[in-house]
Structure 1
């Protein structure tokens, strides 16, 4: 599915593999720029729950334009653009390698600083299987890590997880570099997703928790009963 006013809206797990895509679950860029036609098309999917990873200013400057849904805020404040802008303002000649390093640290921060938010994300998903969309601003980093965790939690292969993650590069439109005050080379890295970004998060999981399984159990409160429920709710066909 493609929408003119929401470039990165899609099923979670648009990849080949058992049980994919996941039932009732969608991921997206922000829903504050939807036109009336696209909003109606998305509502026609039956979506009643929105999980929003955006920070405070992001939410207030572009409020959700879907009517009749419950929006749950799971705020993870963005820091990367400010950091890069400060480097440019200080006279640093920002390169693609610089952006890659900062993006990897951003993803490590998802584990170090924002694990409680991702735990809340799963808490909502476990409560019911009502059709849900989760998103941040571009739908690529905070949303990308959430989708990767979800797919791994229900047993998707590494290849399926990475395929879902990298689909963003076919969807997201690169904004005008001058509008953000960053060099084109930096924007080409910042506005895409790369395997080494997601891998940095999973490496931090291993460093902090010992393994992804321990992270699920200790960081996200996803033990086998919870993961079995996720599989039941979102992988298997049947009555809701």
Structure 2
């Protein structure tokens, strides 16, 4: 099932200083149910929120912010309403290392195709950080009233946040094609971020001998990134159900609780 762009745009939350903020609700599941809106939002970093942005976050009664940025990235602290709780779940990939890869490309020292770098990130998110996603998801399941409504984010809200969103959708029963469709929307809602980075790359290419288009895979999401993450899940655990039960610690009972919380 595919949704038209108008419906996807209706799920966005336009803020002045925050990119890629969307309500994860409003999507249908394969069982014919719909994900409730106004409970869970994904976004890019919140360190540049304006006064009006913080008023909007308060208006939506956001109880908690989840930050997946790494320990160096959070030096640029989120600017939040005073009443909003904050929890840091550091994921030390697709953050500072992504900026490092950007510089390696510029200097002509990249070890391979930049797209392959983010394909590998998909593997790492599964192999090394599933425990982090498990803690986050189980806290929502066990304590929904303390956690929701909630915003979760990383830096651009596309890689670490994108995989976390795909996990939630998969657990709720959203179809794979729609999960991918939603994942790729980051390219649309980060268009200004992508073009800004491409502009910088083109300027730098005047002084360094490199093709600025080599930077583009580092600024976007591509199907291969998410496909690699799920390929790793199926290769290592045989099925998503087994991965969810043994690694995310979300068995059928807990998955049912998650559906009670989010589906209507």
Q: Normalising to structure 2: TM-score of the pair?
A: 0.81
Q: Distance in 2 between matches of 1:86 and 1:137?
A: 20
Matching residue of 2:84:
69
8 Å CA contact retained: 1:80, 1:106: no
1:152-171 equivalent positions in 2, closer than 5 A: 152-171=170-189
Q: Distance in 1 between matches of 2:200 and 2:89?
A: 27
8 Å CA contact retained: 1:6, 1:33: yes
Q: Name which of structure 1's ranges 221-230 and 187-196 shifts more when overlaid on structure 2.
A: 187-196
| Matched residue count | 233
Of 125, 128, 138, which residue of structure 2 is paired with 1:110?
125
Give how far 1:22 is off: 4.6
2:258 corresponds to 1:230: yes
Task: Provide, for residues 125-148 of structure 1, a one-character-per-residue CA deviation record: whole Å limited to 9, x for no partner.
Answer: 112142011100100000000000
Q: Distance in 2 between matches of 1:13 and 1:203?
A: 26
8 Å CA contact retained: 2:36, 2:262: no
Q: Distance in 2 between matches of 1:161 and 1:64?
A: 30
Q: Distance in 1 between matches of 2:178 and 2:47?
A: 29
Q: 1:15 to 1:187 in 2, by over 3 A?
A: farther
8 Å CA contact retained: 1:15, 1:164: no
Task: Provide, for residues 4-23 of structure 1, a one-character-per-residue CA deviation record: whole Å limited to 9, x for no partner.
Answer: 21121110145455313555
Q: 1:75 to 1:35 in 2, by over 3 A?
A: same
Task: Provide, for residues 128-174 of structure 1, a one-character-per-residue CA deviation record: whole Å limited to 9, x for no partner.
Answer: 14201110010000000000000110111112211221111111122
Any gaps of 5 or more consecutive residues in structure 2?
1-12, 206-210
Q: Distance in 1 between matches of 2:149 and 2:26?
A: 16
Q: 1:67 to 1:186 in 2, by over 3 A?
A: farther
Task: Provide, for residues 188-239 of structure 1, a one-character-per-residue CA deviation record: whole Å limited to 9, x for no partner.
Answer: 2211111111000000111111111111001100101111111111113xxx
2:21 corresponds to 1:9: yes
8 Å CA contact retained: 2:119, 2:228: yes
Q: Distance in 2 between matches of 1:191 and 1:103?
A: 10
8 Å CA contact retained: 2:26, 2:34: no
Q: Distance in 2 between matches of 1:64 and 1:122?
A: 24
Q: Distance in 2 between matches of 1:192 and 1:154?
A: 26
Any gaps of 5 or more consecutive residues in structure 1?
none
Matching residue of 1:131:
149
Matching residue of 2:229:
201
